Amino acid sequence: MKKKVKIIALASLIATISGCVGAMPEYKSSQSTMIVFKTQSMRYADQGFISRASNETKVEIYGSGQAVMRLRITPSQVCVTKFACLSKKEFNKKVLGNSNYPETLIENIFNGNRIFNSEGISDSEDSFTQNIVKAGMSIYYYKDSKKIEFNDTITGVKIKVINMN
């Protein structure tokens, strides 16, 4: 019986690890940025890169020339340096602190897309702002050609991306 449990545990570990280190896509673009990523469990603010492939986004933050934080956002999961790979729902719960966020939230933020199906949107010529107030969240989200800013005053999550190009 113990041998069977060990085999199942080992198989689960291999499946989890292989999900994070699967074949890396060819990234079509890479953007030099200043990134602030602040949650209850993580705090980073430094220069970095956002790289995009057809169905994946990779976010890297560097400190003293070394990658101090990496996020690899795929259609089904988010791989984080500190937590390994998590489902998007688990990422929202463990890293962002709110399991009620949409599963597409983190990729929409780093890709500068509208969140929450454009709820609370105010468009202007080259930018948009979203103000979203729901149970457990009070979000200000802004995007223009040089900056993306997400702030939830209830969870304390702050994500800011400033384009350096």
The CA distance from 51 to 56, in Å, is 8
CATH T-level fold of 24-163: outer membrane lipoprotein receptor (LolB), chain A (2.50.20)
Average pLDDT over residues 61-83: 90
pTM equals: 0.83
Q: Report the half-sphere exposure of 106 (CA within 13 A, side-chain side).
A: 34
Is the Cβ–Cβ distance between 113 and 102 less than 8 Å? no
Per-residue pLDDT tens for 94-144? Answer: 999 999 999 999 999 999 999 999 999 999 999 999 999 999 999 999 999
Strand partners, 159: 37, 150
> Which of these, 51, 68, 62, lies nearest to 110 by C-alpha position?
51
Q: What is the dihedral of CA 15, 58, 80, 41, to 10 degrees?
A: -160
Per-residue pLDDT tens for 16-62? Answer: 444 444 566 777 778 999 999 999 989 999 999 999 998 999 999 99
Average pLDDT over residues 135-154: 97
**Domain residue spans of the chain:** 24-163
**Which pLDDT value is given to residue 19?**
46
**Which pLDDT value is given to residue 81?**
86
Whether the per-residue pLDDT at 1 is higher than 80: the answer is: no
**Which pLDDT value is given to residue 64?**
84
Whether the per-residue pLDDT at 15 is higher than 50: the answer is: no
CA distances from 37 to 10, 15, 21, 40 (A): 33, 28, 23, 10
Residue 152: is it exposed, middle or buried by C-beta count within 10 angstroms (0-12/13-18/19+)?
buried
